[in-house]
């Protein structure tokens, strides 16, 4: 039976780094159909507890109303230099207010003007005045996006230090399919959050290998022996390691879909044997391996080629041990850092320390199923991080994202 993971690969929708809290985010909306996604972008940013103000080019009002954006951002929306009651909308004051300016959608016309100093509306004047980081998310039809003049304008804008939020491939408003769709609002938020994430370079240059999820050991073509692991902890580690700048390989057993940070290399596997093979192969080129998967310890001695029929009153299964991936890597490790997980239900510390020594680990993360809020499927965890040198750090109950951040920070501080 083929079981494969459906991996949603997007820039960190589930990652939710709280680095946008309190930031002043100025959004510049230009006249592209993707402007219909900006109310959603504003809502996501407000949810992250950022302060959001919006400037629109006059033509953008044809695509989304200033009222919608004003209600969602909780601020007036600026389209002209002068309000109806003759107040000046100062481009200088708006630029000074912003911690970041995000131009989304950025049409070919606006890109061209930005690249060449054009300044015929409030948004462009604000862009020219801005000293804060500027991000731009192009949105246009595929041939416009591919045109040499657009490419040159994008390159020019990047050479000025502006940050490109790359367009996606997909169906366009014209009905054509290609590159040019504005990045999804979630991806824009994730790129901004990563930019402001204080630990974004903590694991730069490091190759990190992570195993996650359960394994399924097939009995016959339709049945398997498995476990309740959701893969959430391992995926949180993979996403966080990528946000910290590492090159990440994730070997993932069969789970429900996860949002996985773009750039993480995902190998979907089913059985312990497949996980063993892929992980062993990757280990040679790894700096840090963290084995968080709930690997089956036993598999059926033989897999029945056809569905097992209900012929007898009882059925005895003969099981054979699987490869212990962690122990095998421990036996062959050279310069790599090797971190294991231990899931225990009794004598937790003693058992975890035993595994740390027996499997030649540098550290082990102890999960106790006795702790409320810890373990399978839930979004929180409570762990103890134990090093080979005897350091023991209890990490209080928090989200798996935060636990992942703490574990990777401890690994960095202790060993790198
Ligand atoms: N592990 C592994 N390969 C296996 C079994 C376990 O790589 N075949 C890894 C897990 O990913 C985890 C660690 O070993 O990092 C400990 O797993 P755990 O199930 O707690 O312990 P076991 O070694 O299987 O021992 P036991 O089941 O007896 O507690």
pLDDT at 323 over 80: yes
Higher pLDDT residue, 371 or 406? Answer: 406
Residue 262 near residue 10, CB atoms below 8 Å: yes
Give residue 13's pLDDT: 46
Mutation choice for ligand 1 from 295, 325, 384, CB with most ligand atoms inside 8 A: 295
pLDDT at 398 over 70: yes
Q: What is the mean pLDDT of the chain?
A: 93
What separation in Å is there between the alpha carbon of 31 and the centre of ligand 1? 55
| Ligand 1 shell residues, CB under 6 Å | 211, 272, 291, 293, 295, 297, 322-326, 340-343, 355
What separation in Å is there between the alpha carbon of 359 and the centre of ligand 1? 10
- Mean pLDDT across 4-9: 42
Say how far residue 193 (Cα) sits from the centre of its chain.
11
Counting Cα atoms < 13 Å in the Cβ hemisphere of 127 gives 34
Residue 410 near residue 383, CB atoms below 8 Å: no
Give residue 332's pLDDT: 97
What separation in Å is there between the alpha carbon of 342 and the centre of ligand 1? 7
Residue 103 near residue 114, CB atoms below 8 Å: yes
Higher pLDDT residue, 398 or 108? Answer: 108
Active-site annotation, residues: 227
What separation in Å is there between the alpha carbon of 295 and the centre of ligand 1? 6
Nearest-atom index, ligand 1, CA of 351: 29
Give the residue ranges of DSSP H helices in 347-399: 348-358
Give residue 374's pLDDT: 75
pLDDT at 295 over 70: yes
Q: Confidence class of residue 27 from pLDDT cuts 50, 70 and 90?
A: very high
Give residue 313's pLDDT: 95
Rounded Cα distance, 238 and 401, in Å: 10
What separation in Å is there between the alpha carbon of 357 and the centre of ligand 1? 13
> Left if phi > 0, otherwise alpha if psi is -120 to 50, otherwise beta: which for 93?
alpha
Range with lowest mean pLDDT among 4-13, 15-24, 89-98, 254-263 = 4-13
- Mean pLDDT across 211-225: 97
pLDDT at 407 over 50: yes
pLDDT at 9 over 50: no
What separation in Å is there between the alpha carbon of 59 and the centre of ligand 1? 60
- Mean pLDDT across 105-131: 98
Nearest-atom index, ligand 1, CA of 340: 15
Nearest-atom index, ligand 1, CA of 329: 7
Nearest-atom index, ligand 1, CA of 323: 8
pLDDT at 2 over 80: no
- Mean pLDDT across 243-268: 93
Give residue 211's pLDDT: 98
pLDDT at 11 over 90: no
pLDDT at 386 over 70: yes
Give residue 16's pLDDT: 62
Give residue 59's pLDDT: 97
Q: Which of 268, 232, 238 is nearest to 253 (CA)?
A: 268
Q: Tell me which residue has its CA closest to atom 8 in ligand 1.
A: 324
Range with lowest mean pLDDT among 162-176, 281-295, 331-345, 362-376 = 362-376
Q: Which of 270, 166, 255 is nearest to 217 (CA)?
A: 270
pLDDT at 69 over 70: yes
Q: At what angle do helices 400-415 and 232-243 cross, to 10 degrees?
A: 60
- Mean pLDDT across 259-276: 93
Rounded Cα distance, 185 and 187, in Å: 5
DSSP strands (E only) in 175-303: 177-181, 207-212, 217-220, 223-225, 247-252, 259-260, 265-268, 288-291, 298-300
Mutation choice for ligand 1 from 272, 340, 367, CB with most ligand atoms inside 8 A: 340
Q: Which of 100, 68, 79 is nearest to 189 (CA)?
A: 100
**Which tokens hold the place of 395?**
């990490």
DSSP string, 79-141: -SSB-TTS-B--HHHHHHH-SEEEEEEE-HHHHHHHHHT---SHHHHHHHH--S-EEEEE---
Nearest-atom index, ligand 1, CA of 297: 8
Q: Which of 238, 278, 275, 273 is nearest to 258 (CA)?
A: 238
Q: Tell me which residue has its CA closest to atom 14 in ligand 1.
A: 326
Give residue 345's pLDDT: 87
Q: Confidence class of residue 6 from pLDDT cuts 50, 70 and 90?
A: very low
């Amino acid at each position: 039976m083929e079981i494969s993971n459906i991996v949603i690969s997007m820039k960190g929708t589930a990652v939710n780094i709280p680095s946008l809290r309190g930031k002043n985010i100025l959004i510049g909306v230009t006249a592209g159909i993707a402007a219909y996604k900006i109310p959603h972008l504003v809502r996501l940013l407000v949810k992250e507890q950022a302060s959001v103000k919006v400037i629109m080019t006059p033509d953008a009002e044809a695509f989304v109303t200033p009222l919608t954006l004003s209600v969602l951002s909780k601020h007036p929306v600026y389209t002209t230099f002068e309000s109806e009651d003759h107040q000046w909308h100062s481009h200088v004051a708006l630029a000074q207010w912003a911690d970041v300016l995000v131009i989304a959608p950025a049409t070919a016309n606006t890109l061209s003007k930005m690249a060449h100093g054009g300044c015929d509306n409030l948004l462009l004047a604000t862009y020219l005045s801005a000293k804060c980081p500027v991000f731009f998310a192009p949105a246009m039809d595929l041939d416009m996006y591919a045109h040499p003049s657009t490419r040159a304008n994008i390159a020019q804008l990047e050479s000025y230090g502006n940050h490109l939020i790359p367009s996606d491939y997909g169906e366009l408003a014209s009905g054509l399919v290609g590159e040019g769709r504005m990045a999804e609002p979630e991806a824009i938020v994730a790129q901004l959050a990563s930019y402001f994430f204080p630990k974004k370079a903590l694991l730069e240059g490091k190759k990190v290998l992570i195993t996650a999820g359960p394994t399924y050991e097939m009995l016959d073509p339709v049945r398997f022996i498995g476990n309740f692991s959701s893969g959430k902890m391992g995926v949180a580690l993979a996403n966080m390691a990528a946000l910290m700048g590492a090159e990440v390989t994730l070997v993932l057993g069969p789970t429900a879909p996860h949002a996985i940070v773009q750039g993480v290399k995902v190998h979907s596997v089913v059985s312990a044997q497949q996980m063993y093979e892929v992980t062993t192969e990757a280990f040679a080129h790894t700096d840090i391996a963290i084995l968080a998967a709930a690997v089956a310890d036993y598999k059926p001695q033989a897999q029945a080629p056809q569905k097992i029929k209900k012929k007898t009153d009882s059925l005895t299964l003969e099981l054979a041990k699987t490869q212990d991936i962690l122990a095998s890597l421990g036996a062959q490790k050279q310069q790599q850092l090797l971190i294991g997980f231990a899931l225990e239900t009794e004598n937790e510390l003693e058992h975890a320390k035993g595994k740390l020594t027996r499997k030649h680990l540098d550290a082990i993360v102890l999960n106790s199923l006795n702790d409320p809020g810890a373990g399978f499927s839930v979004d929180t965890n409570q762990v103890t991080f134990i090093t080979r040198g005897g350091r023991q750090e209890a990490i209080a109950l928090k989200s798996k994202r935060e636990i992942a951040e703490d574990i990777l920070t401890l690994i960095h501080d202790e060993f790198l």
